[in-house]
Amino acid sequence: MNIPIRETLAAPFQASKWMKHPVLLDVTEMKDLLSALDNCWIVQTSGVISKEHVIITKKNFLEMYEKYLQNLRNGISSMDFQMRSFFSSVFTSTLDALYLYRLPKNEKEEYLVKVCLPVIQLQAHNFHYSSEDDSFRSMAFGQTTFSWGIQFSYPHMYQDNNFKMYAGKEMEIFPNTSLYKKLQQWIRSHTTVTTIEAKGKRKNIPIRVGKNCGNWVEKLPQFTSQEWHIISRNNRN
């Protein structure tokens, strides 16, 4: 592992206009996605981390995702600390997009992982349905939210430490833009918008679902007792 180590913190990473892709995949699809991103490191970025736990192998990530799906099928949408930390990580084609900040006076040699160049950021994704205005909102929090896979995000604008702004085509010079485009193309090819039926009407919402998820998504325990329901890809006719 060759993530640079720094004794001082740099200016906070500044980026905006994030392109976001919330998606729920089958475990076979997640495996295919990780294979498609062949030159990709998965790095934990949440909390204080010992050096040996900074890098997440694709095998371990896939095992954690499979555990997450099994929990969903059992009606469990809450995540333990380890699962949430796996899904609060980044994808990067180069470890130079990050650095480790060594915590002072820390006998365990623990670090904070900091981002210094644009990377693909991961977040556990939740959504909320409001019956008042018949709408769905991503990344909502609270007891009435529902877990729906992972949200992948990549910025459209970035400001470096010299306060120079990069946007649009200028972002092509950064090492993870090509990795993001692979992710974006894969999602477009292997997933579809989610169709729900509420108040007697069907609508498409911009949270995506893998084409291989079949009928198991609409049968998840957390959805079966709602005033709305998900229409699987096989039943949209």
Question: What are the mean pLDDT values of the chain's consecutive 10-residue runs (237 residues total)?
Answer: 85 93 96 95 92 93 96 86 91 95 80 95 88 77 83 94 88 93 97 84 88 83 76 62
Report d(CA 205, CA 208) in Å as an integer: 8
Predicted pLDDT at 80: 83
Predicted pLDDT at 105: 74
Predicted pLDDT at 97: 95
Smallest Cα–Cα separation from 158: which of 118, 98, 119, 122? Answer: 118
The residues near 200 (Cβ < 8 Å, ≥ 6 apart) are none
The residues near 76 (Cβ < 8 Å, ≥ 6 apart) are none
Report d(CA 219, CA 217) in Å as an integer: 5
DSSP 166-230: EEGGGGGGSTTHHHHHHHHHHHHHHEEEEEEEETTEEEEEEEEEETT-TTTTTT-HHHHTSSEEE
Report d(CA 147, CA 138) in Å as an integer: 10
| Residue found under tokens 């062949």 | 38
Predicted pLDDT at 78: 80
Predicted pLDDT at 237: 56
Predicted pLDDT at 236: 59
Predicted pLDDT at 41: 97
Angle at 70 between CA 65 and CA 74, to 5 degrees: 145
Report d(CA 64, CA 85) in Å as an integer: 10
- DSSP assignment letter at 160: -
CB atoms under 10 Å from CB of 143, counted, come to 4
